Chains A and B, each alone.
Chain A
Amino acid sequence: MELNKKNKKTRRDFLKLSSAIAGSVAFYSMFKPIESVANRKTDVTEREHWYGFGFDIEKCIGCGLCAKACKIENDVPREPFFFRTWVEQYTIKNGHIIKDENVIVESPNGGIDGFTQSVPDKEIFKSFFVPKTCNHCYKAPCVQVCPVGATFETPDGVVLVDDSYCVGCGYCIQACPYGARYLHPEKKTADKCTFCYHRLKKGLAPACVDVCPTGARMYGDLDDKEGPLVQFIKNHTCRVLKPHLNTKPKLFYNALNEEVR
């Protein structure tokens, strides 16, 4: 009798325990997807590098050779509608500084053929070049929206496209706030700057960085506190593009004016 009762009790305990476990598993599995939407990071403690760019607007002279080298190095279609990197010239005219109509932005053929000054000197308040490329965002909207997982951030921080898996829906192109993506006209898949991943892995600098005659473009390891990129960010007043969108770019600009979008 006594034994039987005890047995019953443990059985009930067992049932309680197992249902509690089952319940919490079900509860957890309900929240797992939510968590993965909000915080879709894989464990990156074991990464060897975490790559980022540093662009110095004060040093860029608008030769456009970076954009040209990029097209050659990566077989980017030569038509003027597809760019992995490009250079913009901003010219702010004399007059009302705050108004947008006094800001002139140009990027003829992405700057590949160089720039010709279009506004006469006496009308210019300020002019500068801005090199642009994929920001390899830490919270990349393109990665977030890709429906099939064909674009992703590698453990070392580079946002890449899997062109054998991309369906070519174009959602990532819409989601990129920086206009860094295009649909490759032959491959029919999304395409963008790869940080010259094939060069990085061979110990070489990205082509645009390598050919830059003034050192306006640099790259480095954001994990390496003594490295050139972190030191560049430390010693200059650096900003990222469109910080309000919270995409956390890994491309840092020195001397970025607020007119630049």
Chain B
Amino acid sequence: MPKHILRLIILFVIVIGLFLVARQFLIPESFGEYGHYRANSIEENANHDIKYVDRAECAECHDDIAALKQGGPHKNINCQTCHGPGNLHIEDPTPENIVKETEREFCGRCHNKNAARAKLIKQIDINEHNIESKCIECHNPHEPWN
């Protein structure tokens, strides 16, 4: 075999060899354990912190309000649906770190008139129904059906 062909082959062997060696170092740990991905990523995805806490935890302090809510159509609604995530409030229960919605628009999200929700729940026209006052001035927000 002529010298130049031999050297060419050696060059190729070196390049391919380097590639194979590099692969040993660059394929991440746990790759391919369950499939073509890094198995550790499953755990990493599971390790994020939660913000919306377990819905049962609210009633541990606010049992009075939970009882009030039990008496009507809002009974299955999570407190955090209106009050936002409770993670900060649970660590340090102050009124500042929990959302208190007071505006008409918030109630209107569910109860404003809309053809798409017509048959499902009670609705009012937010632009006509008692426009002067906030909903919570007449309706107790935890017992609005009364």
Contacts of B121 in A (CB 8 A): 61, 214
Contacts of B35 in A (CB 8 A): 40, 42, 149, 152-153
Known contacts A61-B121, A202-B50; A210 and B55 CB within 8 A of each other: yes
Stretch at the interface among B73-81, B129-137, B138-146: B73-81
Q: Are B44 and A164 in contact (CB under 8 A)?
A: yes
Contacts of B114 in A (CB 8 A): 61-62, 115-117, 127
Instruction: Categorize the interface residue count of chain B.
Output: 35 or more
Q: Are B50 and A165 in contact (CB under 8 A)?
A: no
Q: Are A150 and B45 in contact (CB under 8 A)?
A: no
Interface positions, chain B 15-31, Cβ under 8 Å from A, are: 28, 31
Main DSSP-derived SS at the B contact region: loop
Contacts of A139 in B (CB 8 A): none
Interface positions, chain B 64-90, Cβ under 8 Å from A, are: 74, 76-78, 80-81, 84-85
Known contacts A73-B51, A164-B41, A198-B47; A115 and B36 CB within 8 A of each other: no
Known contacts A198-B50, A210-B52; A121 and B115 CB within 8 A of each other: yes
Determine whether B120 belongs to the interface, using a CB cutoff of 8 Å to chain A. yes
Nearest-neighbour CB distance to chain B for A134, whole angstroms, equals 13
Known contacts A64-B109, A65-B81, A114-B105; A149 and B37 CB within 8 A of each other: yes
Q: Are A91 and B41 in contact (CB under 8 A)?
A: no
Q: Looking across the interface, which residue of chain A has its beta carbon closest to that of B52?
A: A207
Known contacts A129-B117, A198-B45; A162 and B50 CB within 8 A of each other: no
Q: Give which listed residue, B31, B77, B84, B108, contacts A72 with CB less than 8 A.
A: B84
Q: Are B37 and A162 in contact (CB under 8 A)?
A: yes
Determine whether A160 belongs to the interface, using a CB cutoff of 8 Å to chain B. yes
Interface positions, chain A 21-79, Cβ under 8 Å from B, are: 40, 42, 58-59, 61-65, 69, 72-74
Contacts of A117 in B (CB 8 A): 113-116
Nearest-neighbour CB distance to chain A for B14, whole angstroms, equals 26
Once the chains are docked, how many angstroms separate the CA of A40 from the CA of B37? 12
Once the chains are docked, how many angstroms separate the CA of A136 from the CA of B28? 25
Interface positions, chain A 139-155, Cβ under 8 Å from B, are: 149-155
Q: Are B34 and A127 in contact (CB under 8 A)?
A: no
Most buried by B among A42, A61, A64, A202: A61
Interface positions, chain B 31-59, Cβ under 8 Å from A, are: 31, 34-38, 41-42, 44-52, 54-55
Known contacts A61-B110, A150-B37, A215-B76; A91 and B52 CB within 8 A of each other: no
Nearest-neighbour CB distance to chain A for B129, whole angstroms, equals 15
Nearest-neighbour CB distance to chain A for B66, whole angstroms, equals 16
Once the chains are docked, how many angstroms separate the CA of A128 from the CA of B45? 34
Contacts of B108 in A (CB 8 A): 114
Nearest-neighbour CB distance to chain B for A123, whole angstroms, equals 10
Known contacts A73-B85, A91-B116, A198-B45; A165 and B38 CB within 8 A of each other: yes
Known contacts A149-B37, A162-B38; A73 and B116 CB within 8 A of each other: no
Q: Are A128 and B116 in contact (CB under 8 A)?
A: yes
Once the chains are docked, how many angstroms separate the CA of A202 from the CA of B42? 14
Nearest-neighbour CB distance to chain B for A195, whole angstroms, equals 9
Q: Looking across the interface, which residue of chain A has its beta carbon closest to that of B77?
A: A213
Contacts of B117 in A (CB 8 A): 61-62, 129
Q: Are B116 and A89 in contact (CB under 8 A)?
A: yes
Q: List 8 A-B contacts (CB under 8 A).
A: A61-B110, A62-B114, A90-B116, A114-B109, A121-B115, A149-B38, A197-B46, A213-B74
7 tightest A-B contacts by CB? A152-B37, A162-B41, A198-B48, A127-B116, A114-B109, A149-B36, A201-B46
A73-B85, A116-B114, A129-B117 given. 18 additional CB < 8 A pairs?
A40-B36, A61-B114, A63-B110, A69-B80, A89-B116, A91-B115, A121-B115, A152-B36, A160-B41, A162-B44, A164-B38, A164-B41, A198-B47, A210-B52, A211-B81, A213-B76, A213-B77, A214-B120
